[in-house]
Amino acid sequence: MKTNNLIVDKSFVFSVRIVKLFSHLRSKKVERELCAQLLKSGTSIGANIEEALGGSSKKDFIYKLEIAYREARETKYWLRVLNESDLFEKKLADSFIIDCDELLKLLTAIINSSKK
């Protein structure tokens, strides 16, 4: 699904990867609550970006992007917890954390430029 909108595309791909990771972790019998927290926050990033695009005002747009930013921070936290708990492969964890950091940087840039 290509939209020619970098943040929309990257957050969508990230959400799909999170869903697949959730399924992988659950098949390995990782605690359901840990997996659910990751699934909720990880897929919420893209959902809030989509909501921002349909915002009724610039203020609403920024507010939804700020929620996406906070969800990305939470997602990074859960990825780090799972990684440090040795619940999934380090190389895979690093890949997710790098992608999450990229989303955080993009969101920060968009939020900052929108506030000006």
In the predicted model, is pLDDT for residue 1 greater than 70? no
- Give per-residue pLDDT as tens, 64-111: 999 999 999 999 999 999 999 998 889 999 999 999 999 999 999 999
The answer to whether 73 and 42 are in contact (CB under 8 A) is: no
Q: Are 22 and 38 in contact (CB under 8 A)?
A: yes
> What pTM was computed for the model?
0.93
pLDDT in tens, 6-47: 999 999 999 999 999 999 999 999 899 999 999 999 999 999
Q: Who contacts 53 (Cβ-Cβ below 8 Å, separation ≥6)? A: 5, 8, 61
Please name each of the domains of the chain with its CATH number.
6-115 (1.20.1440.60)
Q: Nearest Cα to 11, choosing from 20, 21, 1?
A: 1
